[in-house]
Copies of this chain bind each other. A is one copy, B any other.
Amino acid sequence: MRRSHYFIPLLKETPAEAQVVSHQLCLRAGLIRQVAAGNYDWLPLGLKVLRKVENIVREEMDKAGALEILMPAVLPADLWKETGRYEKYGPELLRFKDRNDRECVLGPTHEEAVTQIFRDNVKSYRELPLNLYQIQWKFRDEMRPRFGLMRGREFCMKDAYSFDTDREKSLEAYQRMFDAYTRVFDRLGLQWRAVVADTGSIGGNYSHEFQVLADTGEDTLLFDPDSDYAVNIEKYDAATAPKPREQLVEKKGIEVGHCFHLGDLYSEKMNALVTLEDGKSIPVVMGCYGIGVSRLVAAAIEQSHDDKGVIWPEPMAPFKVGIANIRHSDATCTDMATKLYLHLQTMGVETLYDDRDVSAGQKFAEMDLIGLPWQAIIGPKNAAEGKIEWKNRKTGETQLLGTDQLPW
């Protein structure tokens, strides 16, 4: 993409309302803009990052055998009344009436809706196991939305729901999702921990959180190097949580995923039955599995940034390489930059080519702020010798490379 054809509105000053670094950098680097408290426009650069996350999540869900569907954002209140959550859920559940005076909600989660799909369309154990997931924009009417994408009102979530005939098979499904989550967070290039968790407002009887590690995280984790899982110190319950032999309080985390084993909590209330081989009908055994897709964009920034800006892990970067042609008027520079841009395009390397007639300082500052993993800096002295300055955004290391020495 040529920068002159692209749209990255930067902010020089940090907006006063942005308290956390991911919120500040999302605004300053032109990833998002606020429309109302907690509601954001995703601008081209931010949306590209979001799509990278979304695609990795989708690929791993598909590989794990989950099937993608899409449920409505607006749901009938009647569904939520069946499980009692219409009354129980707090004011974060936005309730309204449509023009026909029917009560509706803007779904912050979709257990009822997916259980309805099961109830109306599946009858027999022969059709199981089944795992349905969606990647969807949800709404949570926060009292004081803040921290940007970390706790917005409109947010993108992957939510998967497993259906099985018994607890044992359901726990196998849970493990498949757990393993898929491992691959998702590894592939995103993030430092993360699985944490034994309580079950909160979703209910159920077995649950893990997935936390991206960051100095700025909200949750303090108990971590035992000999154990598989950490424990969230705020939610620590000695009766149910494992007791690691040597617990270290050494990390802060940001919750970006959650697995719940639900059992028949929803299926019993909603009469979602499955007929077994012996002819008996039982409430189907369920699990639910969330990943905060839009929140991951913010969590990655909390984990990986410096005072100059964002440092994207390569798998999440909106472009892999940024080319800064710092002497627009120099024919050798422009020729070299253009050829490099075309070469990288041909190699399938996503590249942002800053071809504008602005100062070198402005280009350097913007490249650091938007955080592309690699910068190719092309100036008159090096270009005359056929060299490109090749900079690693994370380490700041630079080297002079000939055009035949690039990684691609």
A:112-147 near B, CB below 8 Å: 113, 116-117, 120-122, 127, 130, 132, 137, 139, 141, 143
| Distance between Cα atoms of A321 and B362 in the complex (Å) | 53
A41 touches B113 (CB 8 A): yes
Distance to closest chain B CB from A131 (angstroms) = 9
Counting every copy of the chain, the complex holds: 2
Interface residues in chain A, defined as those with a beta carbon under 8 Å from any beta carbon in chain B? 5-7, 9, 33, 35-36, 39-44, 47, 50, 65, 67-76, 79, 91, 94, 96, 98-100, 102, 104, 106, 113, 116-117, 120-122, 127, 130, 132, 137, 139, 141, 143, 153-154
Partner of A98, one of B33, B43, B72, B94: B94
Chain B residues whose C-beta falls within 8 Å of the C-beta of A141 in the assembled complex: 98-99
B41 touches A70 (CB 8 A): yes
B102 touches A36 (CB 8 A): yes
Chain B residues whose C-beta falls within 8 Å of the C-beta of A75 in the assembled complex: 35-36, 39
Residue of B nearest to A136 (CB): B137
Residue of B nearest to A137 (CB): B73
Chain B residues whose C-beta falls within 8 Å of the C-beta of A94 in the assembled complex: 96, 98-99
Chain B residues whose C-beta falls within 8 Å of the C-beta of A106 in the assembled complex: 74
B72 touches A41 (CB 8 A): yes
Q: Which of A68, A69, A70 has the most CB of B within 10 A?
A: A70
A94-B98, A143-B99 given as contacts; is B153 within 8 A of A74 (CB)?
yes
A139 touches B40 (CB 8 A): no
Distance to closest chain B CB from A195 (angstroms) = 30
A7 touches B41 (CB 8 A): no
| Distance between Cα atoms of A6 and B121 in the complex (Å) | 13
A74-B154, A153-B74 given as contacts; is B44 within 8 A of A69 (CB)?
yes
A7 touches B130 (CB 8 A): yes
